[in-house]
Amino acid sequence: MNYCYWSIGVGRRRASLQACVNSARQAGVFREFHVFSDHPLKDCNTYDAMTAEAVEGIESLLYMKAGLSKLSFDCFIWIDPASRFCRNPNGPLAALNSAPIHVPLEFPVDEKPSGFSLDGLAAEAYGRLFTENGVYNRVYYARAAFWIVKRAAIDAVFDWAKRFMAAAEEAGHRLDERFAISYVTQLLGADPERHTWRQRPDLWSPDSGPDAAEKGSAIFLEKPTEVPAFPPQRAAISCL
């Protein structure tokens, strides 16, 4: 299957996305980048980010549905603009494990104290929200800085994500697309264990920046998140 990388870089994030693409080329990554931005980016296929009507909280999913579905790739790999490449990931599509979408799942939310904040949502509420909306396996957290979707699944992924966001709002939670992407992966991916980052530590890990590069990671995020880094692992892609 053929694939490309894609992302969104508007305003201050545009420079970060250009740095991401530059690092990819320097690391020997020559797959196409298809990006939505408010200004042309070098070494990218750039589309006007202002032509698609934004849906609050699921902007990247909207661009995925409105734009990517028209491109002739079998799969699309989302890369957060703050990502930097250290090397070319090997066989990233294998992480799908026959599922329509993959995001590296990091840890079961029930391992955290009930009030532990996961991107602003308490761990207990995170697990309950997923379970109430059809995820009956153990619920995992994912930050969705890197994810893969099959072109044939774009409409279904978008529809399930919208339903989840609506259910979350009805339950009193204003969430963003990171939660929706994690939810859809766990809903459609059957066995969550097949999508944990430890299944493909060569591809992505939650280790942080320079540490990730030293351990052989291909990609890392520059800025820290509120989720603590994990113990050292070799990986292709990593987050701060």
pTM score, whole prediction: 0.89
Q: Which of 20, 21, 50 is nearest to 36 (CA)?
A: 50
- Residue 151: the pLDDT is 96
Give the CA angle between residues 101, 32, 35 to the nearest 5°: 75
User: pLDDT at position 84, please?
Assistant: 86
pLDDT on residue 129? 98
Q: Determine the Cα–Cα distance for residues 204 and 220; give it in Å rounded to an integer.
A: 8
Amino acid at the residue 113:
P
Nearest to 106 by CA among 17, 192, 23: 192
Q: Beta-strand (E) ranges in 29-126?
A: 33-37, 45-48, 75-79, 83-85, 101-102, 107-108, 117-118, 121-122
Q: Give the pLDDT confidence score for residue 185 in this predicted structure.
A: 96
Local mean pLDDT, 10-residue blocks, the chain (240 residues): 95 94 95 95 91 62 90 96 90 94 95 93 96 96 94 96 95 93 93 90 73 68 46 34
Q: What DSSP state is assigned to residue 135?
A: -
